Amino acid sequence: MLQSGTNTVNAAEIAKFEAMAAEWWDLNGKFKPLHMLNPCRLDYITSQIAAEFARDLDDPQPFKGLRILDIGCGGGLLCEPMARLGADVLGVDAAPRNIPVAKLHAEQSGLKIDYRVGTAEALAAAGEQFDIVLNMEVVEHVDDPLGYLTACRQLLVCGGLHICSTLNRNSKSYVFAIIGAEHVMRWLPKGTHDWAKFITPEELFALLQKAGLDPVDRKGMVFNPLTWSWSLSERDLSVNYVTASIKP
Amino acid sequence: MSDRTDIVIVGGGLNGPALALALAQGGFSVTVIDTLPVDTRADPGFDGRAYALALTSRRLLKAIGVWDRVKAEAQPMLEIKVSDGRAGEGPSPWMLHFDHAEIEEGPMGHLVEDRHLRRAFLDAMAKQPRITHRAGETVLAQVVGPLGITVTLSSGSEITGALLVGCDGRASGTAQRAGIGRTGWGYGQTAVVCAVSHEHPHGGVAHQFFMPHGPLAILPLTGHRSSIVWSETESRAAELMALDDDAFLAALRPAFGSFLGEIALAGGRYSYPLNLTLARSFIADRVALVGDAAHGVHPIAGQGLNAGLRDVAALADVLGAARRRGEDPGSAQALQRYQEWRRFDTATLAMATDVFNRLFSNDNPVLRGLRDLGMGAVNAVPALRRGFMREAAGLTGDLPELMRG
């Protein structure tokens, strides 16, 4: 199972990547907010994939035979669970420094995952195809959302599933995501998000349709300060939300 | 080269096999390491030990295919009578009476003998292909590596899993090797446990008498038999254990009373020093503790095994959810969810049984008067009484999936 020979970098570089991998996967470190949100995102992703592709999550490798692309993979927080469930996973990130870090952690976890520097547009141009495209917390950072979502659609096989999460744009999301998360709680570095680029669910649905995708589901991701954890909500899409759409 | 399994469980008593069955059902491969050989566990002789299973425990056993194997041997507990007594004086006029007719969930519990439970667990495990039972083996070492935790057994073989669960009792070696300390204290009391046969039917009624030196519980077994849990001071218990059977019965009769007619011993006598022991943490790197390994409480309310089975159900819930979303079941995140779920519950139980025992194991006339008043009050208020019963049946708190019925 172990990946070998994938790193051709020198010892000092490896030490640096080890430190970065440790940072990415430290539950109480810099990426704590992502780790807190992750179970909620995974619950949504796994249940949507299981429903769309008729898989039983109680099977040992329920996603065997499915090819999944994770755009903006970072340290591999979504890629590793998908690989553990049996999927054939490609993680891409536009930031080159994330790739060796993610590779190293997958190797430490005994998982085989393909990580590359890249973008959705470049993969689409190369003609790559996937059963599932994970597009989590990326669309609010791109300059041309429609062009980007069109590339995502091109990457899917017919009947393929596109899961996209982002942040709503309203006064509540400004208070919670910008003032709360970046300034008060210091969960995220200041300037992580540009509120003006946030997208309302209606705008996202319109964009998805324009890109040639059929939106089929949407849910809110809500933080409960009492249990200090995130959960999915049918109604509350006021800050974080996630959608599923199908390529017809 | 070590064998690979998803979860390694140390301890072949009752919590270990229960957890193994629950996890295997959820898709995990499990290895159970048991110090005792299978034929010792399967010994059909009655040794006098029995458990009062709460309703939620029964639901868990049903969900993992064990209840149907023991239900023919289970005695329903239809009523519980609690009274304050002094040898020779009989119970005081104030008495607590819990009747199952007051809660809709049926009997408040079932008494099942240890031998039937052990047999049922062994049979159920043998039928589950995802469980490997390594009987007659001891763990010598456990080492956490990047891909899991590896245990070395006395036979020299090694097993690696994503998670190691210690179901190995109050003196948990798993906890010690993981560097988890313990806190707790002794009660200066010892429980003498045995079974008696009696002349008259018990009618499914359990009795708890609060005696000056500690409580005496009489719990109905099948037929004309009852299980006795007699708590006494350490020195008095040692004397009782040293007596021959006739002299022991002669000592028991005045406390037991004559309401069940003539009594005789039915099985051996056991003694357990009573202490409270809490692990300082229920988890460590790729390690989780379950049952007495995490929390040994005073057995005053018979909640030891029931609390252990709640750990089992909660851990199976948490690990099953982690597996379904592709998380590493041994990851700190999954284990923290288990710890958060169980620690508060457990500390409350430990505290409550401790206070209860201190209050009742006392001959101070003021305290006697107060607790008589208290019991009278609880008895007089149906809502309060139902609350106690639902608590004892395990129906309160955040219930794991396997206990929801």
Contact B54, B394 (CB under 8 A): yes
CA distances from B32 to B126, B138, B162, B281, B322 (A): 11, 11, 14, 22, 21
Give pLDDT, residue A186.
61
Q: Mutation test of the interface with chain A: which of B5, B144, B324, B335, choosing the one with the most A Cβ atoms within 10 A?
A: B324
Give A158 or B352, the one with higher predicted confidence.
A158
Give A113 or B257, the one with higher predicted confidence.
A113
Nearest to B124 by CA among B7, B41, B38, B20: B20
Fold of B3-71+112-183+275-363+399-403: FAD/NAD(P)-binding domain (3.50.50)
Average pLDDT along chain A:
86
* Strand ranges inside B88-181, DSSP E: 90-99, 109-113, 131-135, 139-145, 148-153, 158-161, 163-166
Residue B363 in this model has a pLDDT that exceeds 60 = no
Q: Indicate which CATH number applies to the domain containing A205.
A: 3.40.50.150
Give pLDDT, residue B30.
97
Q: Is residue A41 one of the residues assigned to a domain? A: yes
Q: Is residue A155 one of the residues assigned to a domain? A: yes
The residues in A 20-59 lying below 8 A from B, measured between CB atoms, are 27, 35, 39, 42-43, 46, 57-59
Q: Is residue A220 one of the residues assigned to a domain? A: yes
- Of A15-29, B126-140, B268-282, B368-382, the one with minimum mean pLDDT is B368-382
Q: Average the pLDDT over B250-270 and give the result.
A: 88
Residue in B closest to A49 by C-alpha:
B325
Whole-angstrom distance, CA of residue B305 vs CA of residue B317: 18
Contact call for A81 and B325, based on CB within 8 A: yes
Residue A7 in this model has a pLDDT that exceeds 50 = no
* Strand ranges inside A85-239, DSSP E: 88-93, 114-117, 130-136, 156-167, 214-224, 229-233
Query: A42-88: per-residue pLDDT in tens?
Result: 999 999 999 999 999 988 899 999 999 999 998 999 999 999 999 99
Average pLDDT along chain B:
84
Whole-angstrom distance, CA of residue A238 vs CA of residue B201: 65
Q: Residue B220's CB: how many other CB atoms inside 10 A? A: 26
- Chain A within 8 Å of B145 (Cβ-Cβ)? no
% residues pLDDT > 70 (chain B): 79
When pLDDT is cut at 50, 70 and 90, the band that residue B104 belongs to is low
Whole-angstrom distance, CA of residue B392 vs CA of residue B404: 15
Q: What angle do CA A72, A236, B318 make, to 5 degrees?
A: 65
Tokens 């599923």 belong to residue:
A244
- Chain B within 8 Å of A1 (Cβ-Cβ)? no
For the packed helices B55-63 and B304-324, what is the interaxial angle rounded to 10 degrees?
A: 40
Q: Mutation test of the interface with chain A: which of B144, B286, B325, choosing the one with the most A Cβ atoms within 10 A?
A: B325
When pLDDT is cut at 50, 70 and 90, the band that residue B388 belongs to is low
B332 contacts on A by Cβ (under 8 Å): 27
Give pLDDT, residue A1.
38
- Chain A within 8 Å of B329 (Cβ-Cβ)? no
Contact B262, B43 (CB under 8 A): no
Residue A6, φ and ψ in degrees, nearest 5: -90, -15
Contact call for A84 and B147, based on CB within 8 A: no
Query: A231-243: per-residue pLDDT in tens?
Result: 999 988 888 899 9
Question: What is the domain range of residue A229?
Answer: 11-246
Give pLDDT, residue B101.
63
Give pLDDT, residue A8.
40
Contact A182, A189 (CB under 8 A): yes
Q: Give, as one character, the DSSP assignment of residue A110.
A: T
Give pLDDT, residue B259.
86
Q: What is the pTM of this model?
A: 0.83
How close does chain A come to B327, measured CA to CA in Å? 5
Task: Please tell me which of the candidates A35, A46, A110 has its beta carbon nearest to residue B326.
Answer: A46
Give pLDDT, residue A4.
40
Residue A95 in this model has a pLDDT that exceeds 90 = no
Query: B208-229: per-residue pLDDT in tens?
Result: 887 777 778 898 999 999 999 8
How close does chain B come to A195, measured CA to CA in Å? 30
Task: Please tell me which of the candidates B27, B321, B336 has its beta carbon nearest to residue A60.
Answer: B27
Query: A101-140: per-residue pLDDT in tens?
Result: 899 999 988 899 999 999 999 999 999 999 999 999 888 8
Contact B278, B350 (CB under 8 A): yes
Residue B88 in this model has a pLDDT that exceeds 50 = no
Query: B153-207: per-residue pLDDT in tens?
Result: 999 999 999 999 999 998 999 999 999 999 887 778 888 989 999 999 999 998 8
Residue ranges of the domains in chain B?
A: 3-71+112-183+275-363+399-403, 75-111+188-273
- Chain A within 8 Å of B326 (Cβ-Cβ)? yes
Q: Average the pLDDT over A140-165 and give the result.
A: 94
Residue in B closest to A86 by C-alpha:
B326
When pLDDT is cut at 50, 70 and 90, the band that residue A169 belongs to is confident
Helix or strand (DSSP H, E) at B353: helix B332-360
Q: What angle do CA A162, A61, B327 make, to 5 degrees?
A: 75
Whole-angstrom distance, CA of residue A84 vs CA of residue B170: 35
Fold of B75-111+188-273: D-Amino Acid Oxidase; Chain A, domain 2 (3.30.9)
Give pLDDT, residue A246.
96
Nearest to B320 by CA among A123, A104, A46: A46
ipTM of the shown complex: 0.82
Strands of the B131-135 sheet, one edge to the other:
B131-135, B30-34, B7-10, B163-166, B287-289, B283-284
Quote the number of domains for chain A. 1
- Chain A within 8 Å of B17 (Cβ-Cβ)? no
When pLDDT is cut at 50, 70 and 90, the band that residue A5 belongs to is very low
Residue B26 in this model has a pLDDT that exceeds 60 = yes
Chains A–B, number of C-beta pairs less than 8 Å apart: 38
Q: Is residue A6 one of the residues assigned to a domain? A: no
Residue A183 in this model has a pLDDT that exceeds 80 = no
CB within 8 Å of B130: residues ≥ 6 apart: B24, B27, B28, B29, B30
Contact call for B327 and A83, based on CB within 8 A: no
Contact call for A80 and B326, based on CB within 8 A: yes
Give pLDDT, residue B391.
62
Q: Is residue A1 one of the residues assigned to a domain? A: no
Contact call for A42 and B328, based on CB within 8 A: no
